[in-house]
Structure 1
């Protein structure tokens, strides 16, 4: 049967859950998935923020979940049945050099960036495998491969997330579930507000990539729709960089002609 390419990115009849849908990349991802026909559950610890996302589109429902609570994730997976697509964006960062880091800060970053991801994959991946289909995507970062002083634990969690997702792809693939990572570059979100407040720091980041600027959250939504849709039916265990060329460009010196 020939594929109908006019519907390649459509998600009609699909149920997507976006964790972290109350702001930033999560919000734009939820809106984009809904625009392609999906029924989207906008999950967030901040219910009011999730409801704000819901007010901006159609086929959207708000749902409160704290992903630091494993039992809450298990309940969510049980209540939000027949999930075809899982997207999770929630993350935190403590920018400190290793010698200045505390054990509490280490645990806090790992708990949200890595342990919560582990719990989400298990809770939602199991039912997907039983149904024989599904797409899971987690947000890694350019910091999974390129680092700078002050990014140690964040970078470690984002690199660890890539390997966690790749392993899930290997284990769930035979059951028809695809699992991928999206690795953004610098994006104007609440997580990067500290950098944006420092003009020199902000400009340095903008100049690092090939496009010479930061991304806005909506520029990540296309990657989410792609990985959720049949357009990526043979894509799993991959890392999709949406970084404006950051990881492709050395950026330290522009040689003369």
Structure 2
């Protein structure tokens, strides 16, 4: 049920991090993977990795902020393969600073990628999948959609909005046979989190918040994406799936660990 043999999938943000891991994981499960990103060199690395596992792929330079580019790319995928079974949107950026210090340009930069970009992919894929009567869409939210961290207000706002967008869109497209879900990762070892991991103290503090005591690898986010794309998840839609090593649900679990141990 977790196999993706023959499924036509499109992954935007495939040049690195979570997007790259998802694209390769889809290929390993037998999917045809159309990859896109603004990073051409990264796309070459991803396509090489897919071809190394015997996968079928192609790559396109696409800016997720441009609805015209997104629609054109998805249209080419359908023109070549006849349908679109899975669409995944992973790009995201973060500018860490207090709200009162944000500039208009910084606000636009974060919201244009995180929110408008995901909107472009959801709308474009939805216009294809609804008429064909099937499909699965997956976007990347974050634990920041629920937890609070100073300096994250705009990033967190986009991720929370994205979670609600997914829920409403799932309700709109459910009767058409289309599923829409989001994954909310915790701390993951990607380029986006390099500034945090550059400080051992900061990186350690994040790891301490996780029940598993460590950061996630991008491949550990790819597994849930494979599930949501597969026939194992045909009754799953409108969900925000937390893949966070227990951060959110176990947030206060260890606050009084010593007392619990002596009871």
* Fold in common (TM above 0.5): yes
Paired residue for 1:139?
140
- Deviation readout 1:175-224 (Å, 9 max, x if unpaired): 00000000000001000000001111100000001101100101111101
- Alignment partners' CA distance in 2, 1:116 and 1:127: 17
Q: What residue is the counterpart of 1:179 in the other structure?
A: 180
CA distance in 2, matches of 1:208, 1:197: 18
- Equivalence map 1:195-234=2 (5 Å): 195-234=196-235
* Structure 1 residue 139, shift from structure 2 partner: 0.2
Specify the SS of the correspondent of 2:148: coil
1:52 corresponding residue in structure 2: 45
Q: Distance in 2 between matches of 1:152 and 1:186?
A: 17
Gaps of 5+ in 2: none
Q: Indicate whether 1:20 and 2:13 are aligned.
A: yes
TM-score (norm 1): 0.95
Q: Distance in 1 between matches of 2:256 and 2:86?
A: 43
Q: Who is 1:194 aligned against?
A: 195
Aligned residues: 250
Q: CA–CA distance in 2 between the matches of 1:73 and 1:255?
A: 49
Q: Which residue of 1 aligns with 2:243?
A: 242
Give the whole-Å Cα distance in 1 for the aligned partners of 2:141 and 2:168. 15
Aligned residue number for residue 94 of structure 2: 93
Q: Name the counterpart of 1:128.
A: 129
Report the counterpart of residue 255 of structure 2 in structure 1.
253
SS in 2 for 1:148: coil
Structure 1 runs not aligned, ≥5 long: 1-7
Structure 2 CA distance for aligned equivalents of residues 32 and 245 of structure 1:
23
> Does the CA-based 8 Å contact 2:65-2:120 persist in structure 1?
no
Deviations 1:75-133 (A, max 9, x none): 11221101110011100000001111111111110000001111111111111000000
Q: Distance in 2 between matches of 1:250 and 1:167?
A: 28
Secondary structure of the corresponding residue to residue 138 of structure 1: strand
RMSD: 1.0
Cα shift at 1:74: 1.7
Q: Distance in 2 between matches of 1:11 and 1:203?
A: 37
8 Å Cα contact 2:35-2:59 kept in structure 1? yes
After superposing the two structures, state which structure 1 stretch, 243-252 or 38-47, moved more.
243-252
The question of whether the paired residues in 1 share the 8 Å contact of 2:66 and 2:120 is answered with no
Would the aligned equivalents of 2:33 and 2:56 in 1 still touch at CA under 8 Å?
yes
Q: What is the DSSP-based 3-state SS (H/G/I as helix, E as strand, rest coil) of the residue aligned with 2:49?
A: coil
Q: Could you state the TM-score of these two structures normalised by the residue count of structure 2?
A: 0.93
